Amino acid sequence: MSIDPKLEEKLRAMVDRDDIRQVILRYCRGMDRLDLDLIRSCYFDDAIDDHGRFVGKAEDFIQWATTATAHFPMQQHAVLNHICDLDGDDAYTETYYICSNINSAPPHILSLGRYIDHFQRREGEWRIANRVALIERNLEMSDSPVAPAAVSGYSVARDRTDISYQKPVRPRTPGQ
């Protein structure tokens, strides 16, 4: 049985778009967990990142960004709308994000913006070739802590001890 060429083309595009979206999600997880290797896996070595206050090679950006945000006890990225235009081994994306940076004490910062990325597929792998991060709004937030019981018993950390790295995840037993 052969696959219709048009269907095969659509399937390839779906897989490519999903691979690209996974890179964006890995980047966000890497930033939130200060996982430098995970962030590195999102960029090609020659990639340039323009984050407004920083413009330079991806490796230098990774060092700058993780140092600049390491003092936050908590950072969370949320990815929203995502558009991906494929052009062979190149892809052009616009991804909206919200990033909350929680300080030890208020004010906390909520950033709204977009990642404008040029992705390339090299040796079968999609990564960021160039990025412009547009921080369109920073909002100050007051304190509104989560009830301790909501995270009690779990490691919530900005490193690989965070529960999200636990495989398989082990929920508490009833009554714990």
Domain CATH code at residue 65: 3.10.450.50
Pick 107 or 151 by higher pLDDT. Answer: 107
Asked if residue 54 is part of any domain, the answer here is: yes
Separation CA 44–CA 29 (nearest Å): 18
Sheet holding 90-102, edge to edge: 55-57, 43-50, 125-141, 108-122, 90-102, 74-87
Domain residue limits at 87: 5-144+153-165
**pLDDT above 70 (res 146):** no
* Residue 175 counted as domain residue: no
- Say yes or no to pLDDT of 126 above 60: yes
Domain membership of residue 170 (yes or no) is: no
Give the pLDDT confidence score for residue 176 in this predicted structure: 63
What is each CA distance from 143 to 102, 106, 146, 147, in whole angstroms? 9, 6, 10, 12
pLDDT tens-digit readout, 56-95? 999 999 999 999 999 999 999 999 999 999 999 999 999 9
Model-level pTM?
A: 0.88
- Which pLDDT score is estimated for 148? 55
**Considering its fold, how many domains does the chain have in total?**
1
If you average pLDDT over every residue of the chain, what do you get? 91
Residue 172 lies in a domain: no
Grouping H, G, I as helix, E, B as strand and the rest as coil, residue 139 is strand
Q: Do residues 162 and 31 make contact, with C-beta atoms less than 8 angstroms apart?
A: no
Between vectors from CA 52 to CA 139 and to CA 39, what angle results, nearest 5°? 90
122 is a domain residue: yes
